[in-house]
Amino acid sequence: MRILEPTIENVTLAAEAIRSGDLVGMPTETVYGVAADATNRAAVLRTFEAKGRPADNPLIVHVAHLQQLDGLVMEFPDRAQRLAERFWPGPLTLILPKRTEVSDEVTGGLGTIAVRIPNHPVALRLIDFSGVPISAPSANLFMGLSPTRAEHVDPALGDRLAMVLDGGPCEIGLESTVVDLSGEQPRLLRPGGISRAEVEEVLGVSLGAPVQGERKSPGLYLRHYAPKSPVRIVDQLGSQEPGIAFESAGDHQIALSRSPREYGVSLYAALHRLDAEGYSEIVIEAPPRDAGWEAVWDRLRRVVG
């Protein structure tokens, strides 16, 4: 696996790789992604194959500016405009009706497409230099933990990439918030870096839940962001248990912040570290239940399965 500093020269090389249909490990503010030319069917198919991801689980397409969406979405309604103005570039993905030119491989055969402008200078430069919209699922094997640092990219996946651009540790650390704007009522499909309350404040309506039984977002895979060791959540971490706590962690323990944002930034990195130790079990002290912790709890549930 080739990890490169994101110099202008290396981003230029990465953009050439994208244009010739290869895959590149791309840093974003949320997690690292497997970048491919979203307009190149073969490259998109290679993405699914490299991750071992089922073909019906659609990808997010990343653009550098709003005009680039013209070739991707049928329309950009007023409520999308308002969310974009407030949160882009940033950790918010919008689901909108797709244009017919967008290939079924990208959208998993759905009539809608997921789009976002990421808030990371390396990602924006790579999209810019490539001159194409870039599809990028998280750079983990299917069902694995998302990487929040270049060195977290699993070599089994990394070896399929032309290179991984090292953009440093991700600033958000959890995947983007996914909001479906394709129907009458906006719905929250995945909580993430932008909170439900922040989205609702801009839209002036409350967000609906995903339609049950509909094939949407990762809600369907209960054990999704899974480390190799089994994970258990407890009210209080025992002093001998390897895991994640809030305060004065002992040996084999990692202490995370009481602020949900900072907790989210470090959660995957902590799990990657503990997982590398090969413990028979990882134990996590339960965070508070209030609304600010929605995205963290969503991931913890999927980690436990």
In angstroms, give the least distance from the CB of 89 to ligand TXA. Answer: 11
138 scored as a contact of Mg ion (CB under 5 A): yes
Binding mask 252-281 for Mg ion (x = CB under 5 A): ------------------------------
On whether the CB atoms of residues 189 and 214 are closer than 8 A, the answer is: no
Nearer to ligand TXA, 186 or 243 (CB): 186
The phi, psi pair for 214, rounded to 5°, reads: -80, 145
In angstroms, give the least distance from the CB of 114 to ligand TXA. Answer: 3
* C-beta atoms surrounding 191 within 10 Å: 24
- As given in the structure block, the two tokens for residue 279 are 């413990």
- Residue number of the CB closest to Mg ion reads 138
In angstroms, give the least distance from the CB of 12 to ligand TXA. Answer: 21
Nearer to ligand TXA, 4 or 134 (CB): 134
182 scored as a contact of Mg ion (CB under 5 A): no
How far CA 281 is from CA of 102, 231, 284, in Å, comes to 43, 6, 10
In angstroms, give the least distance from the CB of 247 to ligand TXA. Answer: 29
In angstroms, give the least distance from the CB of 180 to ligand TXA. Answer: 6
The one of ligand TXA, Mg ion, none whose footprint includes residue 95, by CB under 5 to 8 A per kind, is ligand TXA
In angstroms, give the least distance from the CB of 28 to Mg ion. Answer: 12
Nearer to ligand TXA, 107 or 253 (CB): 107
Strand partners, 97: 112
Q: Could you give the 3-state DSSP secondary structure of residue 75? A: coil
On whether the CB atoms of residues 149 and 64 are closer than 8 A, the answer is: no
Nearer to ligand TXA, 64 or 245 (CB): 64
Crossing angle of helices 294-304/260-277, nearest 10°? 20
Nearest by Cα to 118 from 31, 56, 47, 53: 31
The one of Mg ion, ligand TXA, none whose footprint includes residue 119, by CB under 5 to 8 A per kind, is none
| Sheet containing 231-234, strands listed edge to edge, beginning at the edge strand earlier in sequence | 231-234, 282-285, 243-245, 253-255
Q: What residues make contact with ligand TXA under the rule CB under 6 A?
A: 28, 30-31, 33, 57-60, 91, 93, 95, 107, 110, 112-114, 118, 136-138, 175-176, 178, 189-190, 216-218
The answer to whether the bond into 287 is cis (omega within 30° of 0) is: no
Q: Which residues bind Mg ion (CB under 5 A)?
A: 138
